[in-house]
Structure formats: C-alpha cells, structure tokens
Structure 1
Amino acid sequence: MVFSTPDAFTTRPTLRGSFGMAASTHWLATATAQSVLERGGNAVDAAVAAGFVLHVVEPHLNGPGGDLTGLFAMAGERGADGALGADGAGDAGAVRVFDGQGPAPRRATIEHYRDVEGLADVPGSGALAAAVPGAVDAWLWLLAEHGTWELQDVLDYAIKYAADGHPVAPAVVTTIERIAPLFRAHWPSSAALWLDADGNPPRPGQVITNEAYAQVLRRLLAAGPDDGTREERIEAARAVWKTGFVAQAMEAFAATPHRHSDGRDHAGVLEAADLADFRPGEEDPVTLEFRGYTIAKTGPWGQGPVLLQMLAILEAYGRLHGLTDEHLDPSTAFGIHVIAEAEKLALADRDAWYGDPAFVDVPLATLLSPEYATERAALIGERASAELRPGSPDGRVPVDLAAFGEIGAGKTGLVDDIDVEDEPVSDEPGTDATGQTRGDTCHLDVIDAQGNIVTVTPSGGWLQSSPTIPELGFCLGTRLQMAWLDEASPSALRPGARPRTTLSATVVSDADGPLFTLGTPGGDQQDQWQLPALLRMLVGGWSGQQAIDAPTFHTTSHLSSFWPRVWEPAGLVIEGRVGESVIAELEARGHKVTVPGDWSLGRLSAVGRDASTGTLWAAANARGAQGYAAGR
C-alpha cells in the first residue's frame, strides 16, 4: 500500500476504554456527556444534555434559536437469551439521520424579499435570515423517542451553567469584541446581555451568566405534569416551546424592525405558527460503499452527499489512472491536488443540484453512481481548475453558477479566534460596517457501552445572528442565508423548504454495524476537513487522534453557502505543517495557496469502537484549545 505513515507526534492519545466515550468542541459539553453516562444514561441522554450545555458555553457558535443535524444508531436491548427487545426489534444498529433543520417560514417568499424588502440576497444577519428554529424541539424529540432520562435531569446541567455561570472561553470574548460596536449602536438588547454597564465585553475566564435562558428552561420543565409519564413531560415542554411563550416572544421580536447585514432595518417574517408546524424526526441516511465500509450522511437537503461524491470521484480517478492509494494521500502534493480537485467538482454539483427533495427533483442516484463519478474524475487534470464545473446528470442542464456568486477573498477557516462561515467584508478584521462577523458551529459525539452512538452538529442562533430576545436570552438563527432569491436555483427560498444546510456529520459502519462517527464545525469546509481524516483512517490505517491532528486543507474555489456568496477561483487553504516543498508543488500546479498557520483548520471530533477488540475510543481536536474527549 502506498500511503504516508502518521507522524509520531500527536497532541494527545486516542482515548480507549469499554464504558463509554464522548467528544465535543467544548470541554464542559464533553464532561457533561460523560457525567450522564457515568450516572446510567445512554448515549442519547448524554448527547441531549451536552447539546443544551453547548447553547450556554458556545453561544457564538450555536444557540436555542438555531438548528442541528446528525446521525444516530440504537443498539437495542437484548434479553438473557440474546434476543432483541421491543425497542430494538428489526432495526438494532441501523443508522438514522436526525433532522433538526427548520424550514423557511410560510411568509418567506422570494417576492417578499426582493419586491418588498428590496434585497438581492438573503441577509447574513437579522431576522429575515431566520429559518424556523429547530434545535430545541429536535433535542427534546430525540430524548423522548430514544433517551431514558427525565427532562429535569437532562436540563439541570445547562440550567446550572446559565444561572450560576461558567468561565467564558476566549473565542466567545473575541466574537463579542468584534460585534460590540453593532450591539452599542443598533442591538441594545444584545448589549445588555453580553456587555457590562460600561459597554465592555467580558474578559476571558470571567464567569458569565444567562439568567433569562435558565428561566426559559425552568418554564419548560414546569409545563410537565407531575403525575404523567416521562414522555408526557417532554411533550409538554415541546408544546410550550412551539406554541407558548417562546414562540410568541419570537414572533413579537421578528415583527420589530432592526438592523440587518445590508445596513438597513427590516422586520422578519417568522411567526409562532411556523414553530407549531415544525416536525423534527428521523429518516434514512444516504450511503456509499467505500473500501469495505458504509459511509452514512444526510440527504441532499444538506450538503452531506458531497462527501460521498468526493469519495466516488476519487475512486473513479484511481481506476482511470491505474492507481492504488497514492492519489488518496492527503500528505503529498499529488494527493492534495487530486483531493482538492474532486472537492471542487462535488461542491459544484452541490450548488447546481442539491435542495430539499420535497420541493425539487435531486438526481442523487446518478450523482453517486460509478458511471457519473468516472465522468467527473476525467475532468481532473495536472493543474488546478479555476472554474465552477457542475455536471449534467441524466443529461440535465445545470444552472449557471457564475451568475449566483461573485469572485472575492475565500474563507481561511481560521480557528485561532473563531471558525469562518460568514465572510468579513471590510478592512477591519472579522467585521464590516454593520457589525457583521464570522460565526460557526459546534459538534459532539457520544458512544455508550451498549453500542448506542450519536453524532450531532448544532449551529445557528449565534449571539451575532440577530438581536437578543430579552425575555428568552438568545437570538434567532440565520440559516435562510443559504437560500437563493432566484427560482432557477434548486435551493431557492421557498416557504416550508429546508435551506440546504452545511451541517454534515458522518457515521462509518462495517459489516457488524456502526464503527465510528466523525464531524466538525466549518460551514462549507465540514466535509472537506472530514475527507482527509477519513482517508487517513480508512485507507492509511491511522488512529482517530492521528488523523484529527494531521495537517489539513480545503478549497475556496466554490460558491460560499454564506452571505455575501463569494468564491476564490483555484483557492486552496492549507496548514503550513504539510511542508514547504509540498506547498511549492501545489503552487506550481496553479493552486492559489493561503497558509493561515500550522494549527488553524478544522475542529474534528470522533468516537467509535475498535473492530478487532470491541473496545471504545474517542479523539478530539486540539486546535483552538477548546475541544476535548473523555471516557473510560
């Protein structure tokens, strides 16, 4: 096998044990999940508790007004005779997609945004960018359907951190500092929550609280009947969220004009009825067989299938050129070149063909077919492409992607401050004249001793998304910025349609069932950062921590999913640890290389089981000094 060997150095060991494992983008969320496992909860109980903690400790990366997607598999309970119990009958170990992506509100039409609001694009901040908040309702649904704990026990962790406080992470402070001018000038409710009486942001490590959100969670708990069942108490909390004071407060806020990223004041279109209509749930994943493994992703209402397309194109490239593994090696200039070119082709197909299948006909079977992958792989040449090149599955004519975006500086994906999803568009780093700042996402993974496994990427509702709703202690999300105000796009803005999210966790299975999870924040980079790690693990035989620590890269030669929709032809962002000679060869191939630092890209985490021993393992990213794994 031709493939690089891992560096001897890793930032930390791959954790191994047999009881349970958790990993996430914040140490308090990881510790919360592990605490739940230690107290007898299953992987779902642990993930939900950690998810609510992430609302509190990473408010610049996700919030209760945001959304989430993920995957999970429940092992099912076995009796003394080894037979599956009722909960697992027939589908024990089956991977399922967890859909907490809210759709566009019923009044979110292209005509309203263009003709009434005078917009060419959905803004990057403000209530007009808000999809129906799906995160909280989805977490509660998952707990009711597949968890075992009482809601009180699950929410106690987040309530304590919100009411009693937690030491604020430096990245949160950096975000507040960047957005503070907008808070002071236009978003006073956010200033009241995130700035002190003198208008100053908190200091790193300062204990901060969010009593308003703690009170929201207490009121959700109070809605449940004392003499009812666990499920009835959870459903009562969901009802209050969807139809009670939370939904009413969101509607009232959205109706009040406030500053958006276009520099003007607008009212939003979200109404309480939109929350009442939302239904989270589970569905079948989209899968691809790769080197004896099954890779599971969301459907094309998310960007998940692009990872499957990338893998299919890379395998086809190997067949076309008689190669084994050398084109899959993300440590060499040749491997990075081929991988980046495959990423460009898959991302172009994402933008030309992906959308909510309830509203558009996505030719997914063809996009993932070996024949189409071979057609796409034949386009990879010796030099970097600087074009947007969507394909023509089934002979269809793709939309003109060049008409949708404009050339501009690409995303670096820096994590020394915060990861990049929204582009800075002025000379002041990280913010423009309206205070628009970069936001990102969280991620968490949990596996328990019974083999239940959960991977979720919560996002949206960042503190910089829109003004804080005072009585709730959080703001609305901005996922609608991924929808186009053009009917020609498959991801055009449509009432009731899910915006084509970038949230994209992964489950890898073998013949015995789910093997491991993988995910990261990073917007358009999520699947691009997962790809090299997967190749190192599945082809190179690297451990999870080795693959996560290894230098990574991504292309910016594609349309950004986020406002203001720029792209950088032939752009390639790469960590300097790959080596000067590798970078020089990539530049010679025509890549416009940006080196943001040695440890700057990706926030991957993963949990899994060892197929040979049956033991469990976990690994987490060291970049940004915030993500951790735990377990025993």
Structure 2
Amino acid sequence: MKPAWDRARGPSASLASVTMPPVPFTTPASFTTRPTLSGTFGMSATTHWIATACAQSVLERGGNAFDAAVAAGFVLHVVEPHLNGPGGDMTAVFATAEDPTPTVLMGQGPAPAGATREHLLAEGLELVPGSGALAAAVPGAVDAWFVLLRDHGTWELADVLAQAIGYARDGHPVVGRVGDTVAQVADLFTEHWTTSAALWMPEGRPPHAGEIVRNEAYARTLERLVEAGREPGVADDRVARIEAARRAWREGFVAEAATAFAARPHRHSDGADHAGVMTVEDFAAFGAGYEPAVTIEFRGHTIAKTGAWGQGPVLLQMLAILDGFDDERLDPSTALGAHTILEAEKLAMADREAYYGDRDVPLDVLLSAEYAAQRRALITDRASAEFRPGRIPGVEPFLPPLREDYAPPAGGSAAGLGEPTVSPTGETRGDTCHLDVVDRWGNIVSATPSGGWLQSSPAVPELGFCLGTRLQMTWLEDGSPATLTPGRRPRTTLTPTLVLRDGRPVTALGSPGGDQQDQWQLLYLLRTIVGGYTPQQAIDAPALHTTSVPGSFWPRTWTPGGAVVEDRLGDDVIAELERRGHRVTRAGDWSLGRLSAVTVDPATGLLGAAANPRGAQGYAAGR
C-alpha cells in the first residue's frame, strides 16, 4: 500500500505556478514550480538555461543525445565557469538505442607523476590544498567529451563546438553567482593571480548579473582544436578530425601551455606559494574511456552508478539499507522518514571514507543484502554522532582525521549547500553542474562535469582557463584507499545516475553539490519510485542532507550529527529531528538540491524532463 506521505507545504505563492494532477496519495496534490515536460521528440535538462537551449537546438537539427550533450557540456564551460571548466573532470552514465546496458564514461584524470604525498609533505602541507595547481589532477573533461562524440555522436566537431565558441567569443549575459564568486576571491586575483583578474575582472571589478562577458582566449582554444582536424595529414573523416583535436589537447599546445604556466610558483589555499607538478607527459598519458556500471535492484528498478573510484556506490548502499524498511520510513517529508534517511546516509558515507578509492574495493560485500542488514540494524530512534564504518573481513577500514567543522552563523548557510561556497583563498566546496539528454531514438545520457573552476588556480592567459583541484579529495595520510598516489584517480564526488526498469532505461538524473549529490538524488528516487511523485514534484520537494561525515573538499571537516534542511520541511518535523539528537542547520526555503532529470517510457515512447528551480538558473526543455 502506498504511504500517505505529507508532501509538505509546497513553494511560496510566487513560485507556485502550476498545479499537478493528483498522484496516488491520500493527501492533496502539492504545487510545483513548473510542469514535468512531456513529448516524443527529445528532452534536455541542465543547470543553466542557455546550455539546455543549446542541447535542444542540436536535437532539433538532427543530432542525437550525445551530440546534444557534448555541445551543452562545452557551453557549460562558458556560462558556468564558477562550477566547471575545461581543466576539470567529467563523469557520465549512458545507454544507447542499440544497447540499453548502462555504461560509465570515465573522464576523471589521475594524479600526475610528481604529485606524491612525500612532495606535498615536504612543501609543509598537511592537506592537499583547496586552490592552486599543486592540487590539479590531469584534466579529463574535454577528452571525455571528445571520446563520447567520437564513438556515439554523429556531428562534426566544428559543429558541436560552434555554440560554445560563439558564446565565448561574442559574450553571454553572466549569472549573478559568477560575480559573487569572483567577488569572494577578488583580493586573491588582484594581488596574486593577475591573469585571472585580467580574465574575470577586466574593469577591475567582478562582473554584474546580466553583464555581457567574453572569454576570447577560450574561444580561440576551441577554434585551434577544430583546426587541428584540418591540418595536412589528417584523414578526411569525422573520427580522424576528433582524434587530431584530442592529440592537440593531450600532447600539443594545450598541454604545453597549461603545464608551463602552472609550474610557476603561485599562491595556494594554505597562504604559501607552490609550483604545480603536472607535465606534458602526464597530459599525454591519460585517455578517457568506458567502464561497466555498478548496479543494484531497488523496488523493481535497476540503479546504475560509477565504480568506487567515485562516490557512486554510496547511493546504492543507501538504497540497500533503506530497502529493508517499510514505506512509511522512506518519506523524506516526515520526521521518521527524514531521521531514517539521514542515519542511512551516515552509515553509507562512513563506508565511502573507509573503503572507496581507485583500487580493488569489496563492493560485492558492501552492496550485499547481508551487509545492508547489518548496517540497517544500527539505526535507532536517536541520531548518531559517531563515525561508524562497517567491518569487512580481511580489509582494514581507514579512519580519517576527524576535524570538526565550524558552526554556521544563525540564519546562515552551511558549506556546500548546492551553490558555490568559496573562501577568499579560492578553495571551493561542492559546486559543479549537470546535464541530462534523451532523444527520440532512445539514446540517453546523464553527465556531471565539474572542477577547473575559475577560482581553482591562476588562469592560463593563452588558453582562457585554469587547472582544477580534484586532488584535494585525496588524503596525505598513509593507508587510506584515497591516499594521494601518482597515476591513481582521486575519489571523485561526480555521480550521475541512470535508472532502468525491466532492462530498459527510464530515467537519467543528477545534481551538483559535492558530497550532497547522492544524498539529494536519494530523495528523488525515494519520492518517485516509492512515493509516486512526478519528476518535477520530486525535484521541488523539500531537501535535506547529513554533514556528519568528513567532507571531500578542503579543509575536510565534519559536523558530528549534523543535518542541513530546507525550512519548508516544517517546524514540527525539524523540531522532532532536533529532539532525536540531530544538529540541524536551517538552510532557507529554497536552497538545497539542484537536480535535473529526463525520463522515457519504453512502452509508449513518451519522454519527460524536469529541472531545479532553486537559484532561477536550471531549466528543462523538450517536445
């Protein structure tokens, strides 16, 4: 029987523009900010309306979902530079019209050969910095987009990149969060990272919301990559042109300029100057590729994620723990459900810290029903403030240093709430972007590009972007599955999701938010699969997450028993969570979660899409 979930208090009148038809609950249908789109041609949903429009325009001109996703991915470099960049990373999970098997596209570069824990310790560091090129993994996003286009797209590289080149060269109206981010690091830019100041503060100030901004250097970088495919000796075919661009990126002018510039000592988040260690050889050694997805079954659905070099399996562990509870304990909008979900998140995230990394991880145990039952038995009616990884025979769990986070000011927001949390020294917690596309042929992709933020490290002037800081997700302590190791991938938080039913894809979804990405996606899956919500209702519904786990971002702190909630969860629910022992931070009414999703009904061919209204930036489009 369906639970009588209280879908909570809907949005304010200014946001409640659409009433959805009733769903199988005993409570009235809630308001949503927008409809869940439906159609049969194609659907796109991203964290920025321009990227969504660009993806949809590719579908309208005959491109498939992969052409559209790649075009939107490069546009996101331009319009959301505070959330991702060419020097960053990208992870995707997808299925094709010919093969519904979920596949992971791996665009997470490893640590450079010179990025050893011994080197960083000798530099006087206790943590990998949160800003500065010493924290840079080999960039993986651009190569991953090229590989996806090569193998599954249909368009020429020049056509796919045309929109991004145009917006970079001719300008676009900047969102306010870009200016806010630049303002946070303005002193760093003007005093130390002068090339970044020249790019992002051309008039000596941060850009205003709506102001037309340009990045002509990045436009020229993309044009040079296209031109590499037209040089003498390149075969006259689409694949050869893409491969030539990959070589120019990995071995040619991009690798040369980025590594030479980052090798100059510059200011890092610890307040000292260090030189980056990445080389052209590091660039050349990395190539994006494919991996099988890791899956579990949950209430008649298959949930597909990355391997444990990312945090993807943590969502699967959460679902496995919760699957043993009655439906009434899975409703995020009730005190009992929210408490149960927060406790399951803590247990799964503790296992992430203890066992996940770019190595052999015992997922057969971690995802087993027997192990989930052991973990489930630890959940009581009281909030835990302990760090409690499980015990696996023959595998010693890593116990990370537990540095307690500061308490956010009253009325303030905690770090990583889904919008950039940036300090004056450039370190950033948990921001990124996301896109989902499905086409009329049945191709579907969910992709989460991130890293290489404009505040990561000094901008390379001739390229128009900087290197990222993904290595901040590694530990300098020996013995961790995520200890900094040359040639190994840092354990990323990028975690797109593909959902299947009866072996066919039905949903692609994801979210920005660092450590919160899988926690917010969990709420969506519970509300749609168990609760009967429509996609837009699930995205709009009040969100919450735990901070009772060491963070993946510098300075790697935690809040024991911490829970961050949207106020729309309700005073009674919040008071009950506090009575149970949760250290609750109220984050405002519309502040948590930035999910988007596209859907397909294999039986009818009906497509759908929904996107996050928070921040007035994400949009879905389709017909």
Which residue is equivalent to 1:245?
A: 253
CA distance in 2, matches of 1:36, 1:311: 35
Q: Which amino acid aligns with 1:371?
A: E
> Does 2:119 correspond to 1:112?
yes
CA distance in 1, matches of 2:321, 2:265: 47
> Does 2:410 correspond to 1:409?
no
Which residue is equivalent to 1:148?
A: 154
* TM superposition shift of 1:439: 5.8
1:265 to 258, 266, 273: 273
Which residue is equivalent to 2:322?
A: 314
In structure 2, relative to structure 1, the CA distance for the partners of 1:423 and 1:540 (3 Å cut) is closer
* TM superposition shift of 1:512: 4.4
* TM superposition shift of 1:578: 1.0
SS of residue in 2 equivalent to 1:62: coil
Report if the CA contact (8 A) 1:519-1:604 is conserved: yes
1:553 to 527, 535, 544: 544
For residues 426-477 of structure 1, the C-alpha deviation after alignment (integer angstroms, 9 at most, x for no partner) is xxxx424x35455610000000000100100000000000000000000000
* TM superposition shift of 1:488: 1.2
In structure 2, relative to structure 1, the CA distance for the partners of 1:533 and 1:42 (3 Å cut) is same
Which residue is equivalent to 1:32?
A: 54
Matches within 5 A, 1:347-426: 347-357=349-359, 361-394=360-393, 396-401=395-400, 404-409=401-406, 420=417
CA distance in 1, matches of 2:307, 2:427: 30
Matches within 5 A, 1:269-348: 269-316=277-324, 318=325, 324-348=326-350
Q: Normalised by the size of structure 1, how large is the TM-score?
A: 0.92
Which residue is equivalent to 2:218?
A: 213
Q: Which amino acid aligns with 2:617?
A: Q
* TM superposition shift of 1:613: 3.2
> Does 2:589 correspond to 1:598?
yes
CA distance in 2, matches of 1:98, 1:280: 7
* TM superposition shift of 1:181: 1.1
Which residue is equivalent to 2:182?
A: 176
Report if the CA contact (8 A) 2:430-2:514 is conserved: no
Report if the CA contact (8 A) 2:6-2:333 is conserved: no
SS of residue in 1 equivalent to 2:38: strand
Q: Which amino acid aligns with 1:577?
A: R
Which residue is equivalent to 1:427?
A: none
* TM superposition shift of 1:408: 1.2
In structure 2, relative to structure 1, the CA distance for the partners of 1:155 and 1:304 (3 Å cut) is same
SS of residue in 1 equivalent to 2:333: coil
RMSD: 1.8
In structure 2, relative to structure 1, the CA distance for the partners of 1:572 and 1:439 (3 Å cut) is closer
Moved more, 568-577 or 220-229: 220-229
* TM superposition shift of 1:405: 3.0
Report if the CA contact (8 A) 2:430-2:553 is conserved: no
Matches within 5 A, 1:214-229: 214-225=219-230, 228-229=236-237
Q: Which amino acid aligns with 2:5?
A: S
CA distance in 2, matches of 1:515, 1:399: 37
Report if the CA contact (8 A) 1:502-1:523 is conserved: yes
Report if the CA contact (8 A) 1:181-1:435 is conserved: no
Which residue is equivalent to 1:89?
A: none
SS of residue in 1 equivalent to 2:258: helix
Report if the CA contact (8 A) 1:419-1:521 is conserved: no
Structure 2 unaligned segments of length 5 or more: list them: 8-28
Structure 1 unaligned segments of length 5 or more: list them: 77-91, 319-323, 425-429
For residues 350-391 of structure 1, the C-alpha deviation after alignment (integer angstroms, 9 at most, x for no partner) is 00000112xxx3111100001000111111111100010001
Moved more, 435-444 or 272-281: 435-444
SS of residue in 2 equivalent to 1:594: strand
> Does 2:129 correspond to 1:128?
no
How many pairs were matched up? 597
SS of residue in 2 equivalent to 1:393: coil
Matches within 5 A, 1:504-583: 504-583=495-574
Which residue is equivalent to 1:321?
A: none
Which residue is equivalent to 1:455?
A: 446
Q: Which amino acid aligns with 2:423?
A: T
For residues 2-51 of structure 1, the C-alpha deviation after alignment (integer angstroms, 9 at most, x for no partner) is 24164520000000000000000000000000000000000000000000
2:196 to 190, 196, 202: 190
CA distance in 2, matches of 1:399, 1:248: 38
Report if the CA contact (8 A) 2:430-2:512 is conserved: no
* TM superposition shift of 1:588: 0.3
CA distance in 2, matches of 1:53, 1:416: 29
Q: Which amino acid aligns with 1:628?
A: Y
* TM superposition shift of 1:399: 2.1
Which residue is equivalent to 2:207?
A: 202
CA distance in 1, matches of 2:408, 2:296: 29
CA distance in 1, matches of 2:482, 2:407: 21
SS of residue in 2 equivalent to 1:618: strand
In structure 2, relative to structure 1, the CA distance for the partners of 1:617 and 1:627 (3 Å cut) is same
Report if the CA contact (8 A) 1:410-1:571 is conserved: no
Report if the CA contact (8 A) 1:3-1:329 is conserved: no
For residues 316-338 of structure 1, the C-alpha deviation after alignment (integer angstroms, 9 at most, x for no partner) is 3x2xxxxx201111110000000
Which residue is equivalent to 1:100?
A: 107
SS of residue in 2 equivalent to 1:346: helix
For residues 561-588 of structure 1, the C-alpha deviation after alignment (integer angstroms, 9 at most, x for no partner) is 0000100000000001111100010000
CA distance in 2, matches of 1:453, 1:611: 12
> Does 2:173 correspond to 1:167?
yes
CA distance in 1, matches of 2:603, 2:100: 18
Which residue is equivalent to 2:435?
A: 444
For residues 254-295 of structure 1, the C-alpha deviation after alignment (integer angstroms, 9 at most, x for no partner) is 210000000000001111111100010111000000011100
Which residue is equivalent to 1:477?
A: 468
CA distance in 2, matches of 1:609, 1:56: 29
1:69 to 86, 91, 95: 91
